[in-house]
Amino acid sequence: MQDRIEYFLWVSLSHLVRLMGLRLSRKASFLITVLFYYLIPIRKATVKDNLEKAFPSYNKQKINRIAFGSYKSFMITFMEILYLPVMEKSELESTVGFINLNYINDKYNEAKGVIMLGAHFGNWEYMAMSGAVQAGIPFSVIVKPQRNSFVTEWLDKLRVKFGNKIVPLGISVRQIYKELKERNIVAMVADQRGPEDGIRINFMGRKAVVYPGPAILALKTGAPIIFGVAVRQPDYSYKTELEIISTENLPEEEELKVIELSQRHTAALEKYINMYPEQWLWMHKRWKY
């Protein structure tokens, strides 16, 4: 019953956002941010703890400012996702701009498959959809099902709206491997905390556990990793600069290769977090272990 009530509220809010329009909904996100940051502070302690660990030299005032900005960024993204049922392809294309978009087509034409690696940064859903549309090549998007199965179904229908394919996280790794061997483009995010027994790398000045999946898949299949995040601009558009993660001069030992390649793509994310800390999702315990 709880899932159905949540789903009803979700769909109702989506209809409200569509009636208000995207422009007004984005502005209204400030009021919702105030509500959830000050009155219903969900995960606020976690956000601040993460920020204090990531930026130990920042004073309390600056930490609070980034924390509030992170909530606001998430709320804008949330509104944009709720608007997706009525979003047109042309609007999506004009909202997300890509620098070095040719990297996708160039690497795809090498016929080794491609790993499009992003992060929970800006609007990651828009980036995956618009990237595929603008490149003219559908992505096989690895997604984590939501706790509410009705919401998951709603989201997945929209994720394939412009031609992408859904590959649920938790499915056999063989399926993801198969997508790459069939020379497809696999899109994923791998920026949240990995398993306790996972590999540890340097992230924001301290050791952090990461998911080794992107590095392992790249090394086993020869598929290149193209990294990018959608950076929100003052006018609410997004700019994504793609970067090919180098696989040159890796260590000889296989395990060390995975660690080094994971370090390289994590360093690419770290660069953007340092520039736009409020646009990354800080709401999970990144340094739990």
Q: Confirm if 230 and 239 have CB atoms less than 8 A apart.
A: yes
Degrees (nearest 5) of the Cα angle 281, 104, 190? Answer: 30
Per-residue pLDDT tens, the chain, 289 aa: give them. 899 999 999 999 999 999 999 999 999 999 999 999 998 888 999 999 999 999 999 999 999 999 999 999 999 999 999 999 999 999 999 999 999 999 999 999 999 999 999 999 999 999 999 999 999 999 999 998 888 999 999 999 999 999 999 998 766 677 888 999 999 999 999 898 888 888 999 999 999 999 999 999 999 999 999 999 999 999 999 999 999 999 999 999 999 999 999 999 999 999 999 999 999 999 999 998 7
Total Cβ atoms within 10 A of residue 114: 30
Measured CA to CA, the distance from residue 192 to residue 250 in angstroms comes to: 24
Measured CA to CA, the distance from residue 20 to residue 17 in angstroms comes to: 5
Q: Which two tokens stand for residue 243?
A: 């970067």
Spatial strand order in the sheet of 96-99: 96-99, 238-241, 231-232
The per-residue pLDDT for 90 is 95
Pairing verdict, β 96-99 and 238-241? parallel
Helices (H) and strands (E) in the chain, counts: 11, 11
The per-residue pLDDT for 55 is 98
Q: Which two tokens stand for residue 218?
A: 């790249």
Distances (CA, A) of 30 to 24, 72, 282: 11, 6, 18
Give this prediction's pTM: 0.94
The per-residue pLDDT for 172 is 64
